[in-house]
Amino acid sequence: MREAVIVEAVRTPVGKRGGGLAGIHPVDLGAEVLDALVRRTGVDPALVDDVLWGCVTTIGEQSSNIGRWSALAAGWPTSVPGTTIDRACGSSQQAIAFAAAGVMSGQYDVVVAGGVESMSRVPMGSTRTSGHGDARGPRVAARYPREEFSQGVAAEMIARSWGLSRTQLDQHSLASHERARRAWDEGRFADQVVPVAGVQQDEGIRDGGTLDKLAGLKTPFDDSGVVTAGNSSQISDGAAALMITTPERAAALGLTPLARFHSFAVTGVDPVLMLTGPIPATERVLTRAGLSISDIGTFEVNEAFASVTLAWLAETGADPALLNPDGGAIALGHPLGCSGARLATSLVHRMVAEGTRYGLQAICEAGGMANAMILERLDR
Protein backbone atom coordinates (compact mmCIF):
# COMPACT_ATOMS: atom_id res chain seq x y z
CA MET A 1 0.00 0.00 0.00
CA ARG A 2 1.23 3.49 -0.82
CA GLU A 3 2.08 6.11 1.79
CA ALA A 4 0.09 9.32 2.17
CA VAL A 5 1.80 12.56 3.19
CA ILE A 6 0.76 16.11 4.00
CA VAL A 7 2.51 18.71 1.84
CA GLU A 8 0.68 21.79 3.12
CA ALA A 9 -1.83 22.74 5.80
CA VAL A 10 -3.47 26.12 6.26
CA ARG A 11 -6.32 27.71 8.14
CA THR A 12 -8.08 31.00 8.49
CA PRO A 13 -8.06 32.84 11.79
CA VAL A 14 -10.98 31.60 13.85
CA GLY A 15 -13.60 34.33 14.13
CA LYS A 16 -15.98 34.94 16.99
CA ARG A 17 -19.71 34.61 16.35
CA GLY A 18 -20.72 37.92 14.83
CA GLY A 19 -17.04 38.88 14.47
CA GLY A 20 -14.76 39.73 11.60
CA LEU A 21 -15.54 36.65 9.48
CA ALA A 22 -19.31 36.75 9.95
CA GLY A 23 -19.86 38.74 6.77
CA ILE A 24 -18.13 36.18 4.56
CA HIS A 25 -20.23 33.52 2.88
CA PRO A 26 -19.06 30.08 4.08
CA VAL A 27 -18.40 29.00 0.49
CA ASP A 28 -16.05 31.96 0.06
CA LEU A 29 -14.46 31.26 3.44
CA GLY A 30 -13.64 27.76 2.24
CA ALA A 31 -12.32 29.16 -1.02
CA GLU A 32 -9.82 31.28 0.92
CA VAL A 33 -7.94 28.26 2.26
CA LEU A 34 -8.18 26.36 -1.03
CA ASP A 35 -6.66 29.35 -2.80
CA ALA A 36 -3.94 29.53 -0.13
CA LEU A 37 -3.00 25.88 -0.73
CA VAL A 38 -2.45 26.60 -4.42
CA ARG A 39 -0.42 29.75 -3.74
CA ARG A 40 1.80 28.01 -1.21
CA THR A 41 2.42 24.79 -3.11
CA GLY A 42 2.31 26.02 -6.69
CA VAL A 43 0.23 22.94 -7.55
CA ASP A 44 -2.09 23.33 -10.52
CA PRO A 45 -5.57 22.79 -9.04
CA ALA A 46 -6.43 20.76 -12.15
CA LEU A 47 -4.25 18.01 -10.61
CA VAL A 48 -6.51 17.73 -7.55
CA ASP A 49 -8.56 14.55 -7.78
CA ASP A 50 -11.15 15.55 -5.20
CA VAL A 51 -12.03 17.99 -2.42
CA LEU A 52 -13.35 16.27 0.72
CA TRP A 53 -14.96 18.90 2.88
CA GLY A 54 -16.32 18.73 6.41
CA CYS A 55 -19.39 20.74 7.38
CA VAL A 56 -21.93 20.05 10.10
CA THR A 57 -24.80 22.50 9.79
CA THR A 58 -25.70 21.75 6.18
CA ILE A 59 -28.61 24.13 5.88
CA GLY A 60 -29.12 27.49 4.24
CA GLU A 61 -25.82 28.93 3.04
CA GLN A 62 -23.97 25.74 3.98
CA SER A 63 -26.28 23.34 2.15
CA SER A 64 -26.04 21.85 -1.33
CA ASN A 65 -22.55 20.29 -1.16
CA ILE A 66 -20.41 23.16 0.07
CA GLY A 67 -17.25 21.20 -0.82
CA ARG A 68 -18.02 21.46 -4.52
CA TRP A 69 -19.03 25.11 -4.35
CA SER A 70 -15.90 26.07 -2.39
CA ALA A 71 -13.66 24.60 -5.10
CA LEU A 72 -15.56 26.52 -7.77
CA ALA A 73 -15.45 29.68 -5.69
CA ALA A 74 -11.67 29.33 -5.53
CA GLY A 75 -11.61 29.41 -9.32
CA TRP A 76 -10.59 25.77 -9.64
CA PRO A 77 -11.44 23.93 -12.88
CA THR A 78 -14.88 22.44 -13.18
CA SER A 79 -13.17 19.05 -13.52
CA VAL A 80 -12.31 19.09 -9.80
CA PRO A 81 -15.14 17.39 -7.87
CA GLY A 82 -16.02 17.95 -4.25
CA THR A 83 -18.08 16.27 -1.58
CA THR A 84 -19.28 17.19 1.90
CA ILE A 85 -18.92 14.99 4.98
CA ASP A 86 -20.81 15.20 8.26
CA ARG A 87 -19.45 13.29 11.22
CA ALA A 88 -20.50 16.03 13.64
CA CYS A 89 -17.55 17.89 15.19
CA GLY A 90 -15.09 15.43 13.61
CA SER A 91 -16.29 16.06 10.06
CA SER A 92 -13.09 17.52 8.65
CA GLN A 93 -10.92 15.04 10.55
CA GLN A 94 -12.97 12.30 8.93
CA ALA A 95 -12.50 14.04 5.57
CA ILE A 96 -8.73 13.90 6.15
CA ALA A 97 -8.87 10.20 7.01
CA PHE A 98 -10.91 9.43 3.89
CA ALA A 99 -8.54 11.49 1.73
CA ALA A 100 -5.44 9.78 3.10
CA ALA A 101 -7.04 6.35 2.69
CA GLY A 102 -7.85 7.24 -0.91
CA VAL A 103 -4.22 8.12 -1.59
CA MET A 104 -2.95 4.99 0.17
CA SER A 105 -5.30 2.75 -1.83
CA GLY A 106 -4.45 4.39 -5.16
CA GLN A 107 -7.82 6.06 -5.73
CA TYR A 108 -6.28 9.54 -5.45
CA ASP A 109 -2.89 10.98 -6.33
CA VAL A 110 -3.45 14.53 -5.09
CA VAL A 111 -6.41 15.32 -2.86
CA VAL A 112 -7.50 18.17 -0.61
CA ALA A 113 -9.32 17.66 2.69
CA GLY A 114 -10.60 20.17 5.19
CA GLY A 115 -13.76 21.91 6.24
CA VAL A 116 -15.64 25.04 7.11
CA GLU A 117 -18.31 26.29 9.47
CA SER A 118 -19.84 29.75 9.67
CA MET A 119 -21.69 29.58 12.97
CA SER A 120 -22.54 33.27 12.71
CA ARG A 121 -24.56 32.72 9.56
CA VAL A 122 -25.84 29.18 10.17
CA PRO A 123 -26.47 28.80 13.92
CA MET A 124 -25.65 25.54 15.67
CA GLY A 125 -28.70 23.30 15.89
CA SER A 126 -30.58 25.04 13.07
CA THR A 127 -30.80 21.77 11.14
CA ARG A 128 -32.98 20.37 13.95
CA THR A 129 -35.54 23.17 14.09
CA SER A 130 -37.65 22.35 11.05
CA GLY A 131 -40.63 21.13 13.08
CA HIS A 132 -40.67 17.69 11.48
CA GLY A 133 -40.11 15.66 14.63
CA ASP A 134 -37.20 13.97 16.35
CA ALA A 135 -34.27 13.45 13.97
CA ARG A 136 -33.28 10.32 15.89
CA GLY A 137 -36.40 8.45 14.90
CA PRO A 138 -38.73 6.55 17.24
CA ARG A 139 -36.55 3.45 17.72
CA VAL A 140 -33.50 5.40 18.89
CA ALA A 141 -35.73 7.61 21.03
CA ALA A 142 -37.17 4.51 22.66
CA ARG A 143 -33.71 3.05 23.26
CA TYR A 144 -32.41 6.29 24.76
CA PRO A 145 -35.51 7.91 26.29
CA ARG A 146 -34.20 11.41 26.93
CA GLU A 147 -35.96 14.59 25.99
CA GLU A 148 -32.77 15.88 24.37
CA PHE A 149 -29.25 14.69 23.70
CA SER A 150 -27.31 17.64 25.12
CA GLN A 151 -23.55 18.02 24.88
CA GLY A 152 -23.61 20.42 27.81
CA VAL A 153 -25.40 17.87 29.97
CA ALA A 154 -22.92 15.24 28.81
CA ALA A 155 -20.04 17.52 29.82
CA GLU A 156 -21.57 17.82 33.28
CA MET A 157 -21.96 14.04 33.51
CA ILE A 158 -18.28 13.60 32.62
CA ALA A 159 -17.24 16.13 35.26
CA ARG A 160 -19.20 14.19 37.89
CA SER A 161 -17.92 10.80 36.75
CA TRP A 162 -14.27 11.89 36.89
CA GLY A 163 -14.66 14.04 40.01
CA LEU A 164 -13.68 17.26 38.26
CA SER A 165 -14.27 20.50 40.14
CA ARG A 166 -15.31 23.91 38.85
CA THR A 167 -11.87 25.22 39.79
CA GLN A 168 -10.12 22.52 37.77
CA LEU A 169 -12.22 23.30 34.71
CA ASP A 170 -11.69 27.04 35.05
CA GLN A 171 -7.95 26.62 35.54
CA HIS A 172 -7.84 24.55 32.36
CA SER A 173 -9.71 27.33 30.56
CA LEU A 174 -7.28 30.00 31.72
CA ALA A 175 -4.35 27.87 30.60
CA SER A 176 -5.91 27.45 27.15
CA HIS A 177 -6.17 31.22 26.68
CA GLU A 178 -2.67 31.81 28.04
CA ARG A 179 -1.17 29.22 25.70
CA ALA A 180 -3.02 30.58 22.68
CA ARG A 181 -1.92 34.14 23.40
CA ARG A 182 1.67 33.00 23.88
CA ALA A 183 1.56 31.07 20.59
CA TRP A 184 0.54 34.21 18.72
CA ASP A 185 3.03 36.40 20.56
CA GLU A 186 5.87 33.99 19.76
CA GLY A 187 4.85 33.63 16.09
CA ARG A 188 3.96 29.96 16.21
CA PHE A 189 0.81 30.41 14.13
CA ALA A 190 2.45 32.59 11.48
CA ASP A 191 3.13 29.75 9.02
CA GLN A 192 -0.34 28.26 9.17
CA VAL A 193 -2.84 31.13 9.33
CA VAL A 194 -4.04 33.00 6.24
CA PRO A 195 -5.48 36.45 7.08
CA VAL A 196 -9.00 36.96 5.77
CA ALA A 197 -10.97 40.20 5.37
CA GLY A 198 -8.59 42.09 7.62
CA VAL A 199 -8.79 39.49 10.39
CA GLN A 200 -5.19 38.63 11.27
CA GLN A 201 -5.52 36.55 14.44
CA ASP A 202 -7.96 34.29 16.26
CA GLU A 203 -10.63 36.50 17.80
CA GLY A 204 -11.69 34.39 20.77
CA ILE A 205 -8.56 34.66 22.91
CA ARG A 206 -9.31 36.51 26.13
CA ASP A 207 -6.56 38.36 27.98
CA GLY A 208 -6.63 39.14 31.66
CA GLY A 209 -8.86 36.28 32.71
CA THR A 210 -8.93 35.21 36.36
CA LEU A 211 -10.53 32.46 38.40
CA ASP A 212 -12.66 35.09 40.13
CA LYS A 213 -14.07 36.30 36.81
CA LEU A 214 -14.81 32.77 35.64
CA ALA A 215 -16.41 31.92 38.97
CA GLY A 216 -19.09 34.52 38.30
CA LEU A 217 -20.44 32.72 35.22
CA LYS A 218 -23.66 30.75 35.31
CA THR A 219 -23.89 26.97 34.92
CA PRO A 220 -26.62 26.71 32.24
CA PHE A 221 -26.87 22.91 32.12
CA ASP A 222 -27.16 22.21 35.84
CA ASP A 223 -27.82 24.74 38.61
CA SER A 224 -25.35 22.92 40.83
CA GLY A 225 -22.99 22.02 37.99
CA VAL A 226 -19.50 23.10 36.92
CA VAL A 227 -19.75 23.67 33.16
CA THR A 228 -19.99 27.29 32.00
CA ALA A 229 -19.44 29.30 28.85
CA GLY A 230 -16.02 30.13 30.25
CA ASN A 231 -14.77 26.54 30.35
CA SER A 232 -16.44 25.42 27.12
CA SER A 233 -15.48 25.85 23.48
CA GLN A 234 -16.56 28.99 21.65
CA ILE A 235 -19.10 29.24 18.83
CA SER A 236 -17.00 30.33 15.88
CA ASP A 237 -16.37 30.80 12.16
CA GLY A 238 -13.42 29.36 10.24
CA ALA A 239 -12.00 27.10 7.56
CA ALA A 240 -8.92 24.88 7.23
CA ALA A 241 -7.48 22.65 4.51
CA LEU A 242 -4.65 20.18 3.89
CA MET A 243 -3.14 18.90 0.64
CA ILE A 244 -2.37 15.17 0.65
CA THR A 245 -0.42 13.09 -1.86
CA THR A 246 2.22 10.36 -2.09
CA PRO A 247 5.91 10.94 -1.34
CA GLU A 248 6.70 10.19 -4.97
CA ARG A 249 4.18 12.67 -6.34
CA ALA A 250 5.33 15.27 -3.84
CA ALA A 251 8.90 14.92 -5.12
CA ALA A 252 7.72 15.22 -8.73
CA LEU A 253 5.90 18.44 -7.79
CA GLY A 254 8.95 19.81 -5.99
CA LEU A 255 7.29 19.65 -2.58
CA THR A 256 8.74 18.52 0.74
CA PRO A 257 6.27 16.50 2.84
CA LEU A 258 5.57 17.76 6.34
CA ALA A 259 4.44 14.44 7.81
CA ARG A 260 3.00 11.08 6.84
CA PHE A 261 -0.22 9.48 8.00
CA HIS A 262 0.60 6.65 10.37
CA SER A 263 -2.66 5.34 11.86
CA PHE A 264 -6.38 6.10 12.14
CA ALA A 265 -9.22 5.00 14.39
CA VAL A 266 -12.88 5.83 14.76
CA THR A 267 -15.11 4.53 17.51
CA GLY A 268 -18.51 4.86 19.11
CA VAL A 269 -19.54 5.30 22.75
CA ASP A 270 -22.76 5.87 24.68
CA PRO A 271 -24.66 8.56 22.69
CA VAL A 272 -26.01 10.17 25.86
CA LEU A 273 -22.66 10.58 27.60
CA MET A 274 -21.34 11.02 24.04
CA LEU A 275 -18.12 13.04 24.67
CA THR A 276 -15.90 10.29 26.11
CA GLY A 277 -15.06 8.91 22.65
CA PRO A 278 -11.49 10.32 22.45
CA ILE A 279 -10.47 7.97 25.29
CA PRO A 280 -11.16 4.64 23.51
CA ALA A 281 -10.27 6.17 20.13
CA THR A 282 -6.83 7.06 21.49
CA GLU A 283 -6.38 3.54 22.87
CA ARG A 284 -7.41 2.04 19.54
CA VAL A 285 -5.16 4.20 17.37
CA LEU A 286 -2.15 3.57 19.61
CA THR A 287 -2.75 -0.18 19.41
CA ARG A 288 -2.98 -0.04 15.63
CA ALA A 289 0.21 2.01 15.48
CA GLY A 290 2.09 -0.29 17.86
CA LEU A 291 2.91 2.73 20.02
CA SER A 292 2.34 3.79 23.61
CA ILE A 293 1.18 7.12 24.96
CA SER A 294 4.77 7.91 25.97
CA ASP A 295 5.89 7.66 22.32
CA ILE A 296 3.74 10.64 21.36
CA GLY A 297 5.47 14.01 21.52
CA THR A 298 2.47 16.31 21.11
CA PHE A 299 -1.32 16.01 21.29
CA GLU A 300 -4.28 17.92 19.90
CA VAL A 301 -7.49 16.88 21.63
CA ASN A 302 -10.45 19.09 20.91
CA GLU A 303 -11.53 21.18 23.89
CA ALA A 304 -15.25 20.90 23.32
CA PHE A 305 -15.48 21.29 27.09
CA ALA A 306 -12.72 21.39 29.70
CA SER A 307 -14.18 18.27 31.30
CA VAL A 308 -13.62 16.32 28.06
CA THR A 309 -9.90 16.99 27.85
CA LEU A 310 -9.34 16.62 31.60
CA ALA A 311 -11.07 13.22 31.61
CA TRP A 312 -8.95 12.23 28.59
CA LEU A 313 -5.79 13.20 30.46
CA ALA A 314 -6.87 11.24 33.52
CA GLU A 315 -7.56 8.06 31.54
CA THR A 316 -4.61 8.13 29.12
CA GLY A 317 -1.90 9.33 31.48
CA ALA A 318 -0.60 11.74 28.83
CA ASP A 319 1.72 14.56 29.89
CA PRO A 320 -0.51 17.65 30.37
CA ALA A 321 2.29 19.87 29.08
CA LEU A 322 2.07 18.15 25.68
CA LEU A 323 -1.70 18.62 25.31
CA ASN A 324 -2.82 21.55 23.16
CA PRO A 325 0.37 23.53 23.91
CA ASP A 326 -0.80 26.36 21.64
CA GLY A 327 -4.26 26.53 23.18
CA GLY A 328 -7.44 24.69 22.34
CA ALA A 329 -11.01 25.35 21.31
CA ILE A 330 -11.84 27.07 24.61
CA ALA A 331 -9.52 29.90 23.53
CA LEU A 332 -9.26 29.51 19.76
CA GLY A 333 -12.89 28.59 19.06
CA HIS A 334 -14.70 25.59 17.61
CA PRO A 335 -16.12 26.14 14.10
CA LEU A 336 -17.61 22.66 13.92
CA GLY A 337 -16.88 21.50 10.38
CA CYS A 338 -13.45 23.15 10.42
CA SER A 339 -12.16 21.94 13.77
CA GLY A 340 -10.66 18.56 12.83
CA ALA A 341 -8.64 20.19 10.04
CA ARG A 342 -7.70 23.04 12.38
CA LEU A 343 -6.33 20.51 14.87
CA ALA A 344 -4.37 18.75 12.11
CA THR A 345 -2.97 22.03 10.83
CA SER A 346 -1.78 23.03 14.29
CA LEU A 347 -0.42 19.54 14.94
CA VAL A 348 1.63 19.14 11.78
CA HIS A 349 3.14 22.62 11.91
CA ARG A 350 4.14 22.13 15.55
CA MET A 351 5.70 18.74 14.78
CA VAL A 352 7.83 20.29 12.04
CA ALA A 353 8.83 23.30 14.13
CA GLU A 354 9.80 21.22 17.17
CA GLY A 355 11.18 18.15 15.44
CA THR A 356 8.56 15.91 17.05
CA ARG A 357 8.40 12.43 15.57
CA TYR A 358 4.84 11.41 16.49
CA GLY A 359 1.76 13.55 17.02
CA LEU A 360 -1.74 12.41 17.93
CA GLN A 361 -5.06 14.18 17.58
CA ALA A 362 -8.52 13.14 18.75
CA ILE A 363 -11.93 14.76 18.62
CA CYS A 364 -15.25 13.93 20.25
CA GLU A 365 -18.40 13.95 18.16
CA ALA A 366 -22.10 14.34 18.83
CA GLY A 367 -23.98 11.07 18.84
CA GLY A 368 -21.22 9.35 20.79
CA MET A 369 -18.33 8.96 18.33
CA ALA A 370 -14.68 10.01 18.06
CA ASN A 371 -11.85 10.09 15.55
CA ALA A 372 -8.17 9.69 16.39
CA MET A 373 -5.15 9.97 14.14
CA ILE A 374 -1.37 9.64 14.47
CA LEU A 375 1.01 11.56 12.23
CA GLU A 376 4.72 10.88 11.85
CA ARG A 377 7.14 13.64 10.94
CA LEU A 378 9.43 12.81 8.07
CA ASP A 379 13.16 13.57 8.14
CA ARG A 380 13.64 16.87 6.40
Task: Return the active site residues.
Answer: 89, 334, 364
- From residue 194, alpha-carbon distances to 200, 216, 333, 354 in Å are 8, 35, 16, 21
DSSP secondary structure string for all residues of 296-333: --EEEE--SBHHHHHHHHHHH---GGGBSTT--HHHH-
CA pair distance 94, 337, nearest whole angstrom: 10
CA pair distance 168, 191, nearest whole angstrom: 32
CA atoms within 13 A on the CB side of 137: 2
CA pair distance 248, 245, nearest whole angstrom: 8
Residues 6+ apart with CB under 8 A from 57: 117, 119, 122, 123, 124, 125, 126, 127, 336, 337
Closest CA to 360 of 316, 306, 305, 307: 316
Q: Are 319 and 301 in contact (CB under 8 A)?
A: no
CA pair distance 285, 97, nearest whole angstrom: 13
CA pair distance 372, 272, nearest whole angstrom: 20
272: β partners: none
